[in-house]
Amino acid sequence: MSGNFLSQYGGEIATLTLEHLWLTGAAMLFATAIAVPAGIWLTRSPRWAKPVITVANVLQTIPSLAMFGFLLPLPWLGDRAARIAILALTAYALLPILRNTYAGIRGIEPSILEVAQALGLTSRQLLFKVELPLAASFILAGLRTATVTCVGIATIAAAVGAGGLGELIFRGVASVDNRLVLAGAIPAALLALGADAALGLLERWFRTPQQ
Residue 139 · residue 94 · CB < 8 Å: no
DSSP state of 171: H
Question: Whose Cβ is closer to another protein: residue 40's or residue 168's?
Answer: 40
Q: Pick between residue 60 and residue 137 the one whose CB is nearest to another protein.
A: 137
Query: Least separation, in Å, of the C-beta of 135 and another protein?
Result: 11
Query: What is the closest distance, in whole angstroms, from the C-beta atom of residue 28 to another protein in the complex?
Result: 25
Closest among 201, 207, 195, 197 to 136, alpha carbons compared: 207
Distance in Å, CB of 129 to another protein, minimum: 8
Of the candidates 165, 173, 164, the one whose C-alpha atom is nearest the C-alpha of residue 81 is 164
Report helix, strand or coil for 209.
Answer: coil
Question: Helices in 45-131 by DSSP H: which ranges?
Answer: 49-61, 64-71, 81-106, 110-118, 123-125
Report the nearest approach of another protein to the CB of residue 175 (Å).
Answer: 54
Which residue lies nearer to another protein by CB, 7 or 111? Answer: 111
Q: Which is nearer to another protein, 73 or 209 (CB)?
A: 209
Of 18, 25, 20, 10, residue with least CA distance to 183: 10
- Residues of this chain that interact with another protein (CB under 8 A) are 109, 111-112, 114-122, 125, 129-130, 133-134, 208-211
